[in-house]
Structure 1
Amino acid sequence: MNTKQRILNAALTLLNEEGETAISAVDIANALEISPGNLYYHFKGKEEIIPALYDAFEEEMQIILQSGSKDMRSIEDQWIFAYIVLEEIWDFRFFYRNLDSILDRYPVLAPKFKRLLNAKRKAIRANLNNLIQLDYLHIDEVLLDTLVEQNLLCFTYWLNLQEIEQRKIPAQTAIHQSVFQIMTLSVPYMGEAGFDALQGMQALLKKNLAPK
């Protein structure tokens, strides 16, 4: 692994653990046991590291969103899609824990994040339309627009809520709980088959999160 990638990996770990405001470029260099000059040879400080990490995140997320909205055959597929999206967000969680603040301090990211929001919105709508076609979901177009936006809000701000409440819970628990909350948004519009499938996933969730 080259030095540039090592810097990005170390930065991501520190930023996820401590938060963006608590970490400096010198902290990242110290974690790698390299000189600040060596780091600055590759990146001119955090103002270049943060956008580079975001670009890597968006590239991976776009692949997930594009592939996840295809071949949706069941409500379980929707569950898996939501889990994969939240898992990817968790891997770059420092962005989402203080999203508004980061976009304000790094304005170059704002148009990129809007692009990602639009891609999320498109994928969510495609997945919900698939559930309608599979007869799991019964909803008119106006309410579908609202449901899409509700899903988008949950996908975007679930980590903010955890940060505000200072909830320290394992990654798997946080992701499972958030996926289930997202899925329950569709319950009022589900037919019997969809509701039964969701109840089955709730039982699986309780089993997976039960103390060993």
Structure 2
Amino acid sequence: MNTKDKILITALRLFNEQGIDVITIRHIAKEMEISHSNIQYYFPNADEIITALYTRHIDELNALPPLENGSIASLQESIAGILQHIYQYRFIYIHFVVIARRIPAVKKVYSQRFLARRTQLLQVFEHFRQQGLMRNDIPAAVWESLIRSIYIIGDFWISANELTTGLKGKKAVGYYAEMIGDMVYPYLTEKGKK
């Protein structure tokens, strides 16, 4: 593993454990037992490290199997996979508003990603309606609201977990994946519920 990857792995662990408001390049250097200037050769400041981690996170999310027009169960599995990946990069979501304000490129990528995922979910839900798994009597605005609600929970469950439930790892992922599943339940037909 090269030095740049070691820096990112160490930074990810420290940011997840202590947050971006505590961890600096000097902390990362001390943890790695290398010089501060060695890290600055690769990343001039902590925001560059955060940007690199966010880019890696998004690339890894994009490499996950896409939301497909399969079954309700496959949608649940996809959501759980996404939440598991978010948990691995949880510092981003705990500090997301601060990061997006400090690093406009992160906000831009997030906005683009939201639009792409919105389109995917609309297509998945349309497929489910055609298959008789989801109801046809729901107005378009309500579908939009459901998608936005899924994203609000999907992107900010980490903060809620830190403040209220305090679950770790798979327990946290399972709890919030089930919560998103519960949001979809009222939109299912009897066939879809089975």
Give the TM-score normalised by structure 1: 0.84
Tell me the SS of whatever aligns to 1:69.
coil
1:115 to 112, 117, 129: 112
1:176 to 174, 177, 183: 174
Please state how far the C-alpha of 1:108 moved relative to its aligned partner: 2.9
Q: How does 1:40-55 map to 2 (within 5 A)?
A: 40-55=40-55
Please state how far the C-alpha of 1:142 moved relative to its aligned partner: 3.0
Q: Is residue 2:82 matched to residue 1:73? A: no
Q: Is residue 2:98 matched to residue 1:84? A: no
Amino acid paired to 1:194: G
Aligned residues: 192
Amino acid paired to 1:42: Y
Question: How far, CA to CA, are the matches of 1:153 and 1:168 in structure 2?
Answer: 19
RMSD across aligned positions (CA)? 1.5
Task: String of CA shifts for 1:133-178, please: whole Å, max 9, x gaps.
Answer: 322110433322221111111111111212333x422211111111
Please state how far the C-alpha of 1:119 moved relative to its aligned partner: 2.5
Q: How does 1:134-149 map to 2 (within 5 A)?
A: 134-139=131-136, 140=138, 141-149=140-148
Tell me the SS of whatever aligns to 1:150.
helix
Question: How far, CA to CA, are the matches of 2:101 and 2:27 in structure 1?
Answer: 22
Question: How far, CA to CA, are the matches of 1:58 and 1:77 in structure 2?
Answer: 21
Amino acid paired to 1:153: I
Question: How far, CA to CA, are the matches of 2:182 and 2:166 in structure 1?
Answer: 23
Task: String of CA shifts for 1:188-209, please: whole Å, max 9, x gaps.
Answer: 121123223xxxxxxxxxxxxx
Q: How does 1:185-200 map to 2 (within 5 A)?
A: 185-196=183-194
Equivalent position of 2:26 in the other structure: 26
Q: Is residue 2:80 matched to residue 1:101? A: no
What residue ranges of structure 2 are gaps of 5+ in the alignment?
A: none
CA contact (8 A) 1:132 1:138 kept: yes
Give the TM-score normalised by structure 2: 0.91
Identity %: 26
CA contact (8 A) 1:69 1:126 kept: no
Q: Is residue 2:163 matched to residue 1:164? A: yes
Question: How far, CA to CA, are the matches of 1:135 and 1:53 in structure 2?
Answer: 41
Q: Is residue 2:19 matched to residue 1:15? A: no
Amino acid paired to 1:161: A
Task: String of CA shifts for 1:83-130, please: whole Å, max 9, x gaps.
Answer: 011111111111101211221222332111211222232232232223
2:122 to 109, 120, 125: 125
Question: How far, CA to CA, are the matches of 2:62 and 2:153 in structure 1?
Answer: 18
Task: String of CA shifts for 1:39-64, please: whole Å, max 9, x gaps.
Answer: 11111020211111111111112233
What residue ranges of structure 1 are gaps of 5+ in the alignment?
A: 197-212
